[in-house]
Amino acid sequence: MQAEAQSQLLKNEPLARYTSWRVGGAADRVFVAENLSELQTFMQTLDHAETVYFIGLGSNLLVRDGGVRGTVIVMHQALSDLRVDGQTIYAEAGVTCGKVARFSATESKQGAEFLAGIPGTIGGALAMNAGCYGSETWNIVHQVLTINRRGETHVRNESEFIPSYRHVEMPMPDEWFLGAWFKLDVGNAEVSQQKIKQLLATRLASQPLNLPSAGSTFRNPYGDFAARLIEASGLKGYQIGGAQVSPKHANFIVNVGECTALDIELLIRHIKDVVLEKQGVALQQEVRVIGEYA
């Protein structure tokens, strides 16, 4: 296990193993970071024109079958610091959202319970303002730590960013999140832990967690739910290749076996077309798509 945690630079590395959909071609280079110091050193070696992607658990990402030209930096094996820092909870980008929720509850801090319902890391949650059950990541952000392609780090206040629904506007180009300080209220550990337990039970009952997926595929339109629109369009269970609209939750596309990224992308397009035709609503996808077609 220790060898897996060491920083590695892998060439022509298949990305299917790094994404929750379990599909996708190879990246030219994959850097698996061990710690911040080695990540900074590696960033300094990058050509100024190099395309760079940061990923955590790949839980909101579709990598096309032709793979990625450029460098993919994998964060979830590194940057795992999680601690109380004064009046805040500090979590590095590689920490899973669920772990932050449980740790905060144990420390009698309330406000982060919703993170237990987000199947990704803090880095991804910050980048897309992930949320569920009426709460969003940037509602509890106090400060963030970022890195640029020169390997320089910056502590930035939340006021420097413009968060919106499933999007965050960065103050500077070519900066990525390394961690965040969360401002949480004093709470009751038992109450918060019970809330997390109920949230996870609801998630288990309503979402197809037994199959590879990327969570919610589409953003919820204002005042409505993407899942309701998809189900009302008769698409529950609809399948293209190995990609299926989950019979359990219509806003989830699941990999039922032998699935390709193209299957998923074609199904996303089909859902958009049918919902627009039948419901008059143009769905916007929540998942990020990168890479080239095979």
Q: 64, 102, 156, 166: which is the annotated catalytic residue?
A: 166
Q: Is the pLDDT of residue 266 over 50?
A: yes
Strands 26-32 and 8-14: antiparallel
Residue 40, token pair as written in the block = 């900074």
According to DSSP, residue 80 is labeled: -
Q: Is the pLDDT of residue 1 over 50?
A: no
| Least confident stretch, 72-76, 105-109, 212-216, 223-227 | 72-76
| Least confident stretch, 70-79, 185-194, 239-248 | 70-79
Residue 69 appears among annotated catalytic residues: no
pLDDT level of residue 118 (50, 70, 90 thresholds): very high
Q: Is the pLDDT of residue 144 over 70?
A: yes
**Tens digit of each residue's pLDDT (9 = 90 or more) over 12-27:** 999 999 999 999 999 9
Q: Is the pLDDT of residue 30 over 80?
A: yes
**Tens digit of each residue's pLDDT (9 = 90 or more) over 201-226:** 999 999 999 999 999 999 999 999 99
Q: What is the pLDDT of residue 121?
A: 95
| Least confident stretch, 37-41, 75-79, 225-229 | 75-79
Q: Within 10 Å of residue 200's Cβ, how many Cβ atoms?
A: 15
Q: What is the pLDDT of residue 3?
A: 38
Answer yes or no: pTM beyond 0.75. yes
Q: 104, 216, 233, 246: which is the annotated catalytic residue?
A: 216
Residues in contact with 67: Cβ distance below 8 Å, sequence separation at least 6, in sequence order: 15, 24, 25, 26, 27, 28, 291, 292
Residue 216 appears among annotated catalytic residues: yes
Please give the average per-residue pLDDT across 275-291, as a whole number: 97
Question: Residue 192, SS3?
Answer: helix
| Percent of the chain residues past pLDDT 90, beyond the cut | 90
Could you give all domains of the chain from N- to C-terminal order, each with its CATH number? Answer: 2-74 (3.30.43.10), 82-206 (3.30.465.10), 226-290 (3.90.78.10)
Q: What is the pLDDT of residue 190?
A: 97
Q: What is the pLDDT of residue 134?
A: 87
According to DSSP, residue 119 is labeled: -
| Average confidence score pLDDT of the chain | 94
Helices (H) and strands (E) in the chain, counts: 7, 20
Can you tell me the distance from the alpha carbon of 7 to that of 16, in angstroms, rounded to the nearest whole number?
Answer: 19
Q: Within 10 Å of residue 119's Cβ, how many Cβ atoms?
A: 22
Question: Residue 241, SS3?
Answer: coil
Q: Is the pLDDT of residue 259 over 60?
A: yes
CA angle, residues 181, 105, 207, in degrees to nearest 5: 95
Please give the average per-residue pLDDT across 162-172, as a whole number: 93
Residue 166 appears among annotated catalytic residues: yes
| Residue (of 136, 45, 124, 138) closest to 79 by Cα position | 124
pLDDT level of residue 227 (50, 70, 90 thresholds): very high
Q: Is the pLDDT of residue 34 over 90?
A: no
